[in-house]
Structure 1
Amino acid sequence: MNTHQRPGAAQAPEPLILKDLTLSLFRAGVNRTLFNKFDLEIQPGEITTIMGPSGCGKSSLLSFISGTLAKDFTVDGRVCLGQRDITDSPPEQRHIGMLFQEDLLFPHLSVGENLGFGIPAVVRQKTDRKMLIEQALEEAGLSGFADQDPATLSGGQRARVAVMRTLLSRPSALLLDEPFSKLDSALRERFRTFVFDHARAHNLPTLLVTHDPEDARSAEGVILNMPFV
């Protein structure tokens, strides 16, 4: 896998750190605590898994880290990348990559344009941007697909494009919100390997939330089980 320095490359990897996190949801007159004084540190290149049933707060934790938590939650605690406290930073300044159950490709853009959307604006030269897109397609096994309509791709191909678009944004950490759950078993295993290999190759601290024990086992990292209260 090609991991040499590229235009717009991110700074040196840092751990993703949660400090003293208490997260509560107030809804229908009831206050429910999801986390209480929770701490977590994920080193660059490590994949930590949080397991738990639907509705236990896994996705809410990722929303807090990415800066998109809904207003009916209350939070105490901090989220840091190394020594940088990003708790109060807007989502676009956190440099947190995220993959969801859906690939979320833009239907009005070609495959190459979808990938180009992820490249930081600091990479201005068309030749550099084209090179990054071509390298991403090669890593995804999709060389020559730049002009394709995303609607013509298989589910697995779309998923790989979504991963590479996220990596092209040069994230400082990676969050995985059950991105394998809608894939069939054979494709799921291959895609897990693809995602985990790239997360490690890019030396990203990675947090996976899932209810599937096989996802957790394949991540080969620390496994935490909710609830944490």
Structure 2
Amino acid sequence: MSGLQIDALQIDRAGIAMARLTAHIPRGQVLSVMGPSGSGKSTLLAALIGALPPEFTVTGRVSLNGRAVMGLATQDRRIGLLYQDDVLFPHLSVAQNLGFGLRAGGSKAERMARIDSMLARIGLAGYGPRDPATLSGGQRARVALARTLLAEPEALLLDEPFARLDQALRAQIRELVFALAKDLPVILVTHDPEDARAAGGPVVDPMGSPLAL
């Protein structure tokens, strides 16, 4: 089955259920997970990429395009994660930051061509040599998104990536993210109903219960 299939996923800590989810997210759909801070939203994403601390217990099955991923290392799952902090490397140029996201293989010229193409797609053509410190918040968010997508993920997780942006910029970056990820299954974690409405897909809480906006 194509897309992201989550079957009876449950994350516990010290015997307490932190998150539960059963869902099928086809390519092109965004599942929004809404809830207040500390409700288990980010814990759910960490479980999906295999980054939970050992005190958590995870049961259930997750497959991506028919491939079981729960037993795989994070880098082998082909699941991208975009945070609310852009986490750009300050000692690298914009192009070098993007190169860090590229999968192995290809000549130097081919890799630079892919970086330049992605910069053009996000509206930052020619910004490769720039120092990340010279970028605006919106530009940094675009670069972080581009780096995530250059890794060629088969699914994308969004951990409140718009939270630090002002309202006008938030809508602009949100539209860009959804447009560039239109062929991927996406899970968006947010506490903002406007984000979930813009995503246009189903909305649940961290325990998997449907929510009405």
TM-score band, normalised by shorter chain: over 0.9
1:23 to partner: Cα distance: 1.4
Q: Using the alignment, how far apart are the partners of 2:122 and 2:170 within structure 1?
A: 15
What's the counterpart of residue 76 of structure 1?
59
Q: Using the alignment, how far apart are the partners of 2:159 and 2:201 within structure 1?
A: 16
1:18 and 2:2 correspond: no
1:218 and 2:198 correspond: yes
Q: What do you get for the CA RMSD once the two structures are aligned?
A: 1.4
Aligned length in residues: 209
Q: Is there any run of 5+ residues in structure 1 with no aligned partner, and where?
A: 1-12
**1:1-229 to 2 correspondence within 5 Å?**
14-26=2-14, 31-36=15-20, 38-122=21-105, 124-200=106-182, 203-228=183-208
Matched residue type, 1:110: S
Identity of aligned residues (%): 48
Q: What secondary structure does 2:62 align onto?
A: strand
Q: What secondary structure does 1:17 align onto?
A: strand
Q: Is there any run of 5+ residues in structure 2 with no aligned partner, and where?
A: none
Q: What secondary structure does 2:36 align onto?
A: coil
Matched residue type, 2:6: L
Kindly report structure 1 stretches of 4+ aligned residues shifted beyond 2 Å. Answer: 225-229
TM-score between both structures, scaled by the size of structure 1: 0.88
1:45 to partner: Cα distance: 1.2
Q: Using the alignment, how far apart are the partners of 1:153 and 1:97 within structure 2?
A: 23
Bigger mean CA offset, 143-152 vs 75-84 = 75-84
Q: Using the alignment, how far apart are the partners of 1:33 and 1:228 within structure 2?
A: 12
1:69 to partner: Cα distance: 1.0
1:39 to partner: Cα distance: 1.0
Q: What secondary structure does 2:145 align onto?
A: helix
1:95 to partner: Cα distance: 1.0
What's the counterpart of residue 5 of structure 1?
none
